[in-house]
Chains A and B, each alone.
Chain A
Amino acid sequence: MSKVRLLVGTRKGAFVLTSDGKRQQWEIDGPHFAGWEIYHVKGSPANPDRLYASQTSGWFGQLIQRSNDGGKTWEPVGNQFAYDGVPGTHQWYDGTPHPWEFKRVWHLEPSLNDPDTIFAGVEDAALFRSSDGGQSWHELPGLRGHGSGPHWQPGAGGMCLHTILLDPRDPKRIFVAISAAGAFRTDDDGKTWRPINRGLKSEQIPDPNAEVGHCVHRIAMHSSRPNVLFMQKHWDVMRSEDAGESWREVSGNLPTDFGFPIEVHAHEPETIYVVPIKSDSEHFPLEGKLRVYRSRTGGNEWEALTKGLPQRDCYVNVLRDASSVDSLDACGIYFGTTGGQVYASADAGDSWAAVVRDLPPVLSVEAQTLA
């Protein structure tokens, strides 16, 4: 019988949550790396028992942990993230040049077909790759070096590369997103990159055609249609039909289009999910009601999903890497909150239940569907 494993990163450790295919009863294992910030944990699609975790601390810096048994045991691997060549400068909050400085790994994206190859999105924004199971890391410098790097500025959470999408049909195509620079694409395995932000509108940017400077919070795709991208921007939910060449807004009837995560249903490429948040200065749900919104039309027409979610006095946030879907039928969808709850829906969002309620603030959730 199929199983689902949730890999949960929190402010104070990692947790591994497992259930059978019914997804009603869950076992909770953890904390792993207790006391450390675990920004992200993700498994290899080619070998689901091969996991990687980004473990970080203001005191002790960055570690990468690797597991070969689905998270039962771990070993630290390489933790040296050295920018290629002279790092140069980006813009600081006040507009002055600021040296590129490695701070932490936000997101780990294992290769679709090689368990030893993995990408790391880091702060200050850059993309690294390891081809030896995380033992050594090498920057793909064409991203920072494509020309606009000196104009990138950090978002409120830092200048982080937080989204990495690997095109399942074209192994040389990778999409990334950076706060607050925007979205970028390579078509030559990371050698050269270009911004793909046409159509994004950000009120704070005077130039409506600005190449960079957009605070993209998350991008998602369905593996069957890698040219169709969905984006949760700082404000606005966006859609691209042409691999990011152009974007159009699909916020439609959302009560607020600010938010962080965005997900695509595992079997329905036009069914997408967001968690609207009141505003950029009030990072909590509108009216104290935690509502996931689902569109079955690829955007514009949204319905609130509330069954099983708190509908009063709820003021948590859902961070950009803290949602995921499984590939069972019906599709399971999951998200974690800054209040430490992990919610699960085994019916594509129609109803929800808390898997666990009192973890540390949740930074990331990844679902694995296991045979």
Chain B
Amino acid sequence: MIRVVLPAHLRTLANVNGEVKVDVTGQPTQRLVLDALEASYPRLRGTIRDHVTKERRAFIRFFACERDLSHEPPDTPLPAAVASGAEPLLVVGAMAGG
């Protein structure tokens, strides 16, 4: 079970409160977690990463365990604490704009 914290606007869009939890088979990676997230909440498709290229949107960042994972390749395993459910993966709207 992977815990994901979404930014407020995406929680509203997905109609969820607080953290969301998704199941991933095998070693969790950014790609697998986002695949599972979009499968559970199709409304989020295109809001975190591009529909086709699957590239992270420019003003979205990923954090976990006090580390910025935004530039990690999408198939890099997530930290063990995220994989175990001890820590959440944070999806963050970058501090830019108004």
Contacts and interface: CB of A to CB of B under 8 A. Distances in A.
Interface in A80-103: 80, 82
Interface string B34-51: 000000000101111001
Contacts of B96: 58-59
Contact of B93 (A60, A79, A80): A60
Interface string B12-24: 0100000000000
B72 to A, nearest CB: 20
A59 B46 contact: no
B43 A59 contact: no
A59 B93 CA distance: 6
A327 interface: no
Interface residues of A, number: 13
Contact of A60 (B10, B51, B52): B10
A64 to B, nearest CB: 10
Q: Is the interface of A mostly helix, strand, loop or mixed?
A: loop
B9 interface: yes
Contacts of A36: 9
Contacts of A82: 51-52
Q: Is the interface of B mostly helix, strand, loop or mixed?
A: loop
B54 interface: no
Given A76-B43, A80-B46, A59 B9 contact: yes
A61 B46 contact: yes
A36 B97 CA distance: 12
Given A57-B9, A59-B57, A61-B57, A79 B46 contact: yes
Interface residues of B, number: 18
Nearest to B51: A80
A61 B10 CA distance: 11
Contacts of A62: 46
Contacts of B63: none
A104 to B, nearest CB: 12
B94 interface: yes
A76 B51 contact: no
A80 to B, nearest CB: 5
A158 interface: no
Interface string A33-73: 00110000000000000000000011111110000000000
B45 A79 contact: yes
A61 B47 contact: yes
16 contacts: A36-B9, A58-B59, A58-B96, A59-B93, A59-B96, A60-B10, A60-B13, A60-B57, A60-B60, A60-B93, A61-B47, A62-B46, A76-B43, A79-B45, A80-B45, A82-B51
Given A35-B9, A60-B47, A60-B93, 13 more contacts: A58-B96, A58-B97, A59-B60, A59-B93, A60-B10, A60-B13, A61-B47, A61-B57, A63-B46, A76-B43, A79-B46, A79-B47, A79-B51
